[in-house]
C-alpha cells in the first residue's frame, strides 16, 4: 500500500488498497472505487475511478471462489 497525495500541495488523501490486483482508495473508514473530490488544503480536483470492467472481473473471480468454498462445505 502506498500513500496517495495531492499533486499540488502533497496533502495526504489516503492510501492505495489492492484487492486482487485492483487498486481502490483507502480513505480510513471506507474503500473508494469512484470519487470526485477536492483537496481540503488547496482545492485541486481529485478523481479516483476503478473501471467497471476491472470491477466486473474482480467480482466474477470472487463469486467463482465462493462456489469453490461452498462445494468444499458439502464434502
Task: State the residues that interact with Zn ion by CB under 5 A.
Answer: 6, 8-9, 11, 39, 41-42, 44
* Minimum gap (Å) between residue 57 Cβ and Zn ion: 32
The smaller minimum CB distance to Zn ion, of residues 1 and 9, is found at 9
The smaller minimum CB distance to Zn ion, of residues 11 and 54, is found at 11
Return the closest-CA partner of residue 34 out of 48, 16, 20, 22: 48
- Say how far residue 37 (Cα) sits from the centre of its chain: 15
Q: In whole angstroms, how large is the CA radius of gyration of the chain?
A: 17
* Minimum gap (Å) between residue 21 Cβ and Zn ion: 28
d(CA 15, CA 12): 8
* Minimum gap (Å) between residue 74 Cβ and Zn ion: 53
Amino acid at each position: 500500500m502506498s500513500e496517495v497525495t495531492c499533486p499540488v500541495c502533497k496533502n495526504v488523501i489516503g492510501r492505495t488498497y489492492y484487492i486482487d490486483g485492483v487498486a481502490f482508495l483507502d480513505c480510513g473508514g471506507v474503500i473508494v472505487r469512484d470519487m470526485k473530490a477536492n483537496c481540503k488544503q488547496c482545492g485541486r480536483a481529485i478523481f479516483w475511478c476503478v473501471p467497471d470492467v476491472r470491477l466486473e472481473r474482480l467480482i466474477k473471480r470472487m463469486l467463482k471462489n465462493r462456489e469453490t468454498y461452498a462445494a468444499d462445505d458439502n464434502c
